[in-house]
């Protein structure tokens, strides 16, 4: 089974801090994604990557950046955390160029609270 591991389940950070959310997948997937989930807003795509050192903006990239130095790892960076970035963050991965029956495999999520 594909495993997508997010380094923290719960995080509490202060406003203005630089925050790193890490995601690692173990099945050699080319594609990786970062979403945030908020009540009533569903899953919103922040950034995605189709290859190492490659990144594309999603629907809500403002206030975020990403890093993909290795194929298995995709990091989400909050440059200066703000309270409106309090959310559930979900990482996902998928195979390149294939509409797999299961689509994406998600990690368990990181619940980030910015105080």
Partner 1 sequence: DQQVKQNSPSLSVQEGRISILNCDYTNSMFDYFLWYKKYPAEGPTFLISISSIKDKNEDGRFTVFLNKSAKHLSLHIVPSQPGDSAVYFCAALAYSGAGSYQLTFGKGTKLSVIP
Under the rule (CB under 8 A), what is the footprint of partner 1? 4, 9, 30-31, 37, 40-43, 48, 50, 90, 92, 94, 96-99, 101-109, 111
- Beta bridge partners, 113, equal 12
Map residue 92 onto helix, strand or coil.
strand
Q: Which is nearer to partner 1, 13 or 111 (CB)?
A: 111
Least distance from partner 1 to the Cβ atom of residue 61, Å: 15
Map residue 79 onto helix, strand or coil.
coil
Q: Give residue for tokens 């999520």.
A: 109
Q: How far apart are CA 115 and CA 89, in angstroms?
A: 16
Q: Which is nearer to partner 1, 50 or 63 (CB)?
A: 50
The DSSP output letter for 88 is E
Least distance from partner 1 to the Cβ atom of residue 80, Å: 26
Q: Which is nearer to partner 1, 45 or 77 (CB)?
A: 45
């Amino acid at each position: 089974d594909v495993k997508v591991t997010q380094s923290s389940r719960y995080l509490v950070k202060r406003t203005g801090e630089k925050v790193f959310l890490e995601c690692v997948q173990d099945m050699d997937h080319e594609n990786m994604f970062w979403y945030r989930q908020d009540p009533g807003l569903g899953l919103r795509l922040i950034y995605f990557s189709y290859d190492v050192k490659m990144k594309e903006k999603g629907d809500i990239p403002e206030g975020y950046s990403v890093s993909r130095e290795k194929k298995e790892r995709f990091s989400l960076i909050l440059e200066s955390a703000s309270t409106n970035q309090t959310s559930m963050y979900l990482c996902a991965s998928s195979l390149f160029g294939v509409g797999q029956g299961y689509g994406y495999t998600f990690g368990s999520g990181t619940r980030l609270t910015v105080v």
